[in-house]
Amino acid sequence: MCMNARCIFSKTVCLFFSAWVALVPVCHAGILNFLAPSGDDAEKQLQTWLHSPTQNLKLGEWDRIRLAPSYSEHPNQHPLTITAEQVADMLKTLQLKADGEVIALFAEDELKRLSKPIASALAVARPDQDVEFLSTGQHGMIGIVAPVVGNAGRIFVTGGRLNIILGMVHKDFISDYLHGSRRVPKFDYGSQQHPAEYISIASSVSGDVHLVRQDWIALPMPAKRAEKEPARPTIETPPSNGPMVAPGKDAAEDLASKLAVRLKALQLLKEQGLLSEEEYRNKRAAILQGM
């Protein structure tokens, strides 16, 4: 019994240790992403980078974006104004074909980290630059122990479309880095000239989506919202022929004041004997008729 108990205890310890080792990459990546800049710090870091976007903008231990040469014969339509919400809406439609299934390319936490930096980078990119990205996220239905995998690619705008070329999708490079080679992997950000192998983007059947290659998709740009014209003041002018339009309150008071002065002056002339009764009546009628 004692030996059996020791064996059971030893096996339990081994299983626990194996499970702990397997979870280290996940926990390691999760903790480092948690410690990544957020809130005001992330915004300050982004604004600092935008003033001199020559280096990588780090969004986490592995997540980053940068401006890189496009190596294209045709200039991109950069810089471009687009919102973070619009970028997120477009990126979340990307799906992959893997093992007979269709799965999302980005996890929700990836979209939150990437959307605003990508939108900001497109706003400062030159026509000869692409926006390259590297991101990590957990995919699967097993919660905290879901594998942490990486995506890498490039984004640029041409032909009125947001083009996305993928060079790496859902690659588990963290485990190898932590428990294998200990070398920082060389990431593939995709290329217009050379298609990436073993990448298959699931083309959407809705909208004007263009699947250029299995690793390259072009999404239609969101429609610009029509700016609401400011309300113009309505100016009422009386017709040239026809009845006079009734004046406003201020104009009516001014007219009444002027008429009262004229009628009072006319009354004074009559009392001084300078106007006959007939002349007074005629002039008074003419004044009232001109109202």
273 shares a domain with 190: no
Is residue 281 one of the residues assigned to a domain?
Answer: yes
Give me the residue label for tokens 């310890």.
13
Q: Nearest 5°: CA angle at 154, between 31 and 75?
A: 150
* Predicted local confidence at residue 29, as pLDDT: 45
110-122 confidence digits (pLDDT tens): 999 999 999 999 9
Is residue 1 one of the residues assigned to a domain?
Answer: no
Is residue 234 one of the residues assigned to a domain?
Answer: no
80 shares a domain with 156: yes
The C-alpha atoms of residue 78 and residue 89 are separated, in whole angstroms, by: 20
Is residue 229 one of the residues assigned to a domain?
Answer: no
Express as a percent the part of the chain with pLDDT over 90: 46
Looking at residue 114, the DSSP 8-state letter turns out to be H
The C-alpha atoms of residue 153 and residue 138 are separated, in whole angstroms, by: 18
Across the chain, where does the E strand assignment appear? 57-58, 64-69, 95-98, 101-104, 129-138, 148-158, 161-171, 210-213, 216-220
Q: Which residues contact 221 (CB under 8 A, 6 or more apart)?
A: 82, 157, 160, 161, 162
The C-alpha atoms of residue 33 and residue 45 are separated, in whole angstroms, by: 16
At 145, the pLDDT band (50, 70, 90 cuts) reads low
* Predicted local confidence at residue 263, as pLDDT: 73
Q: What is this structure's pTM? A: 0.66
* Predicted local confidence at residue 175, as pLDDT: 77
59 shares a domain with 174: yes
Closest CA to 151 of 51, 246, 241, 65: 65
Domain limits at 269? Answer: 249-289
The C-alpha atoms of residue 155 and residue 130 are separated, in whole angstroms, by: 6
129 shares a domain with 29: yes
Q: Which residues contact 220 (CB under 8 A, 6 or more apart)?
A: 160, 161, 162, 207, 208, 209
Is residue 236 one of the residues assigned to a domain?
Answer: no
Per the structure, how many domains does the chain have?
A: 2
141 shares a domain with 278: no
Is residue 233 one of the residues assigned to a domain?
Answer: no
* Predicted local confidence at residue 283, as pLDDT: 74
Q: Which residues contact 143 (CB under 8 A, 6 or more apart)?
A: none
Is residue 60 one of the residues assigned to a domain?
Answer: yes
- Average pLDDT over the chain reads 78
1-44 confidence digits (pLDDT tens): 444 555 544 544 444 444 434 444 444 444 444 345 556 788 99
Give me the residue label for tokens 């290659």.
213
218-267 confidence digits (pLDDT tens): 999 987 654 454 554 444 444 545 454 445 556 666 666 777 767 777 67
At 277, the pLDDT band (50, 70, 90 cuts) reads confident
Say how many residues make up the chain. 291
